[in-house]
Amino acid sequence: MNEATTLLTLVTVHIVALMSPGPDFALVVQNAGRYGRQTGVMIALGLSLGILLHSLLSLTGASLLIHQHPTLFNVLQGAGGGYLLWLGYGALKATWHHWQQRHMPDSDKAPAAKTRVIANRRQALLKGFTTNILNPKALVFFLSLLSTLVPADMSLSGKTTALGLLWLTSFLWFGLLAWLLTGQRLQRTLQRWTPVIDGICGLLFAVIGSLIWLNLLTA
């Protein structure tokens, strides 16, 4: 298999994996619909940088070392599971708060928030990056993907191109998702459904985080 074929296969498998629902996908849907296009794109950039780092660690062998040391890998899994549980708690808390607000008299309702951003672009970028880099399943996926499809004797330019393509396709996919979700008409619809989206995403984060912790405790 020549380098061009290897790169095409690598990108194809990666795109299929990107389109599968998971924490990264849920994070973009939840935040782009609520906070707007700029926040969604910055989260997409953060996610793609996390993927770039996972890919770099896998190509250099660092991910293999982590995977081969059970204690270190368990610490990573515990941190990732805990972070997803924290995201789930935050999303479910927002859903519960909205439900309480709906059932309160108008005079008792808290005033609407004046800002529609997470806090700033840096926070959105960090949230995306942290969500991806602390996902232990991402570490295992990229380790398996790159060790299987990228031969050890691939040229440096070939490996560099592979890293660039993995980052670019990730950013384009999540960025496109954020862009589509923040069209004016669709965003108005998503904002009406914000409590439902928060609830679904919160459950997804909580279930994945709980499964990671359950696997650690029963291993």
- In angstroms, what CA-CA distances link 134 with 108, 124, 187? 40, 16, 29
pLDDT recorded at residue 215: 85
Q: Six-digit token pair at 89?
A: 């708690």
Burial class for 161, CB neighbours closer than 10 Å (0-12, 13-18, 19+): middle
Q: Tell me how far apart the alpha carbons of residues 158 and 172 are, in angstroms, rounded to a whole number.
A: 21
pLDDT recorded at residue 176: 94
pLDDT recorded at residue 112: 43
| SS3 assignment, position 202 | helix
**Helix crossing, 70-102 with 121-133: angle to 10°?**
130
Residue type, 21: P
Q: Six-digit token pair at 165?
A: 């393509």
Please, which residues have CB within 8 angstroms of residue 93's CB and are 6 or more apart in sequence? none
Residue 27: which of 10, 47, 8 has the closest Cα?
47
pLDDT recorded at residue 2: 80
Q: Six-digit token pair at 131?
A: 């969500």
How many alpha carbons fall within 13 Å on the CB side of residue 72? 9
pLDDT recorded at residue 193: 75
- Helices (H), ranges, 150-193: 156-181, 184-192
* pLDDT-flagged residues of the chain (< 70): 1, 100-119, 219
Q: Tell me how far apart the alpha carbons of residues 76 and 93 are, in angstroms, rounded to a whole number.
A: 26
pLDDT recorded at residue 105: 57
pLDDT recorded at residue 48: 97
| pTM for this model (two decimals) | 0.80
pLDDT recorded at residue 76: 82
CB 202 within 8 A of CB 90: yes
